[in-house]
Amino acid sequence: MSIDAKDAKNPKDTKRGIKPASSKIFSPLLALFAILLFNIFLNPGFLSITIVNGHLYGQLIDILNRAVPVMILATGMTLVIATAGTDLSCGALLALSGALAVSLIRGDSTVLNADTAMPFAAVILISLVVTSLCGLWNGFLVAKLGIQPIVATLIFMTAGRGIAQLITGARNLTTSYEPFSVIGQGWFLGLPVPLFIAAGVFLAVWYFARRTAFGLFVEAVGVNASAARYSGINSSLVIMVVYTISGFCAGVAGLIYASNIMCADATNAGLNYELDAILAVVLGGTSMMGGRFYLGGTVIGALIIMALTKSIYAFDVAPESALVVKAFVVVFVVMIQSPLYRSLRESLRSRKRKPGSVRESVG
């Protein structure tokens, strides 16, 4: 009989093994749809998309476009969180990347005495390489020195913004360099360029994580770093790569942010974005304890945050009061994902089924 019970359990288990991915994505998706529905109800013109000069305009496009920086940060953050880490520095690195790019384009930075304007490609490359190196440094502190991720990245969170302000001289450096504006304001095939960049970053990370064994390594490290090491995974290398990717993503997001306003605003660029990015990842179903990660869920999480902010702006209230609604939505989503709720649901389900099986086992 015990064998029977095991057999009866096994298929269910394997089914559950496959299911979580879809069910994990399901609740954030539901939340997103609820917010969008709410908006349509409030404003019937919400879904309409108009074409002006061959460019698509509309609320939906706007939400997508504005969600891009957080979405890119969150893509890198997903991998970091999957290794049971956190990257608090990405908002500051975003500011650093923008500051570097604009000051290099202008060629009049207070620190980098580059009088001659650099080739554009070099500017982009330098910004991305610098932020990636900062990410690598974070990874080094976490992996090699065993410092807790929150503290290790706290260093660049405070110092990174300081360095960005050092580079810009705490001024709001502006630029009117045409090619640079394409990154944040350009259009391609009727859609804003940032969307394509975000899609590119997402696909690259997705491919690297899901079409190679790397994603599996990340999850293994997240579940148990030492167990992963004993089974032959180079845990510290995986962690360093993950933080480097996060730094790179911050660099890309910083270029988009700076290009969008054509200005390097070291003080305010990406302020608190790291929190939004972490939130997007958690809303998307990835646990902060590490382990399984859901890149698709992260994108939905970022969209939830932006759609929520956008729909609150529709009311005539101070933009900052949106935070209250944000707090309640996060509580709601977190509740759905909590073990308590899950066990409640399980017990409800098993109560429906149990009477028969219990009697059977007694008999």
Partner 1 sequence: MNNSMNNSVNSGMTDGADKIAERKRGFSIDLKYIPAIAAILLFFVAYGIGGLLYGDRGFLRLRTFTSIFTDNAYLGVSAVGMTLVIVSGGIDLSVGSVAALSTMLIAYCTEELGMNSSLILCAALAVGSFLGFLMGVLIEKLSVPPFISTLIGMFLARGLCFIISIQSITINDTFLRALGKWKIKLPQNSYINLSVILFAVMLVVGVVVMRYTRFGRGVYAFGGNRQSAKLMGLPTARIQIGIYTFSGFCSALSGVLFAFYTFSGYGRHLYGMEMDVISSVVIGGTLLSGGVGYPLGSLFGIMIYSIILKFISFNGTLSSWWTKIAVGVLLLFFIVMQRFIVYVAGRKRGRT
> Footprint of partner 1 on this chain (CB under 8 A)?
86, 141, 145-148, 150-152, 154-163, 165-166, 170, 266, 275, 278-279, 282, 288-289, 317-318, 320-328, 330-331, 334-335, 338-341
**Can you point out the beta strands (E) in 71-213?**
173-174, 187-188, 191-192
Report CA torsion sign: 221, 334, 246, 159. Answer: negative
153, 89 contact by CB (below 8 A): yes
- Closest contact distance (angstroms) between CB of 161 and partner 1 is 6
**Considering beta carbons, is residue 84 or 101 the nearer one to partner 1?**
84
Helices and strands, number each (H, E), in the chain? 14, 6
**Considering beta carbons, is residue 162 or 296 the nearer one to partner 1?**
162
**Considering beta carbons, is residue 207 or 341 the nearer one to partner 1?**
341
Q: What's the longest Cα–Cα distance across the chain?
A: 88
**Considering beta carbons, is residue 194 or 284 the nearer one to partner 1?**
284
- Closest contact distance (angstroms) between CB of 272 and partner 1 is 8
- Closest contact distance (angstroms) between CB of 132 and partner 1 is 19
- Closest contact distance (angstroms) between CB of 103 and partner 1 is 14
> Which residue's entry shows tokens 């709720």?
341
265, 69 contact by CB (below 8 A): no
- Closest contact distance (angstroms) between CB of 333 and partner 1 is 10
**Considering beta carbons, is residue 122 or 323 the nearer one to partner 1?**
323
- Closest contact distance (angstroms) between CB of 189 and partner 1 is 36
For residue 200, give Cα distances in angstroms to 68, 192, 205, 299.
12, 13, 9, 13
Separation between Cα atoms, residue 53 and residue 44, nearest integer Å:
24
Separation between Cα atoms, residue 319 and residue 322, nearest integer Å:
6
- Closest contact distance (angstroms) between CB of 91 and partner 1 is 11
Report CA torsion sign: 332, 333, 334, 335. Answer: positive
> How long is the chain?
363
**Considering beta carbons, is residue 7 or 320 the nearer one to partner 1?**
320
> Which residue's entry shows tokens 């999480």?
301
**Considering beta carbons, is residue 65 or 165 the nearer one to partner 1?**
165
Angle at 113 between CA 108 and CA 118, to 5 degrees: 70
> Which residue's entry shows tokens 């000069």?
53
Query: Judging by DSSP bridges, how do beta strands 55-58 and 49-52 pair with one another?
Result: antiparallel
Task: Name residue 92's amino acid.
Answer: A
**Considering beta carbons, is residue 136 or 147 the nearer one to partner 1?**
147
- Closest contact distance (angstroms) between CB of 158 and partner 1 is 5
The SS3 of residue 188 is strand
